[in-house]
Structure 1
Amino acid sequence: MKLFLISDNVSTLTGMRLAGIEGVVVHEKEEVRKALETAVQDKDTAIILLTEKLGQEFPEIIDDIRLNHQQPLLVEIPDRYGTGRRPDFITSYVNEAIGVKL
């Protein structure tokens, strides 16, 4: 099983390639859709890594893949410029999910 990266910048792809993870750099909506469909169809791909920026820009494509495919696992990762999430995003997510303030 292998990992595959779909990134919006070359720096993240270069870093992942140093770790042995192949991938592509995309910027447009159709490029993202095509890269995801290609990665999903590859039965050797266990995990697709996707930069957070692409996940925020094209949520409908990401949601479609997550809803209609059991595998591979789709994980959004921060790029080299950091994350776009608030520092307390995990705590707020848990608060919303269970309705109890931690």
Structure 2
Amino acid sequence: MKFYTLSDNVDTLMGMRLAGIEGEVIHTADEVLASLRRVMADPSIGIVLMTEKLINTCPNIIYRYKLTQKRPLIVEVPDRHGEGDVSQTIEKYVSEAIGIKL
């Protein structure tokens, strides 16, 4: 299974490519949804790395994918432009998944 990166900036994508991970740069919610549909249909992709900014373009849809799809695993990666706290994002995701505020 492969990793795949969906990034909102070239810097993050270049860093991932240096690690041998392919991907693409996208910016709008429509591009995010189209790319996710394509990636979800590819059986060779096991993990999708997405930047914080892209996840924030359509968080409800992405969290629905995370909660209902077995494959691929969608992982939020911080980038140099990110402002959020990844631990808060994980806390929110777990709280939504199990229905208990941590």
TM-score interval (norm. to shorter): 0.7 to 0.9
The alignment-based identity, stated in percent, is 46
| CA distances 1:15-57 after superposition (whole Å, capped 9, x unpaired) | 1001000001111111000111111111011100000111122
* Aligned match of 1:58: 58
Q: State the number of aligned residues.
A: 94
Q: Gaps spanning 5+ residues in structure 1: where?
A: 98-102
**Contact 2:47/2:74, CA 8 A, preserved across alignment:** yes
- Greater Rg, structure 1 or structure 2? 1
1:1-102 to structure 2, matched below 5 A, reads 1-85=1-85, 89=88, 93=91, 96-97=101-102
Look up the SS of the partner of 2:3 in the other structure.
Answer: strand
How does the TM-score come out when normalised to structure 1? Answer: 0.79
Q: Gaps spanning 5+ residues in structure 2: where?
A: 95-100
Look up the SS of the partner of 1:37 in the other structure.
Answer: helix
Q: Provide the aligned C-alpha RMSD in A.
A: 2.3
How does the TM-score come out when normalised to structure 2? Answer: 0.79
Supply the distance in 1 between the matched residues of 2:28 and 2:81 (Cα, whole angstroms). 20
**Contact 2:28/2:57, CA 8 A, preserved across alignment:** no
**Which of structure 1's runs of 4+ aligned residues deviate more than 3 A?**
none
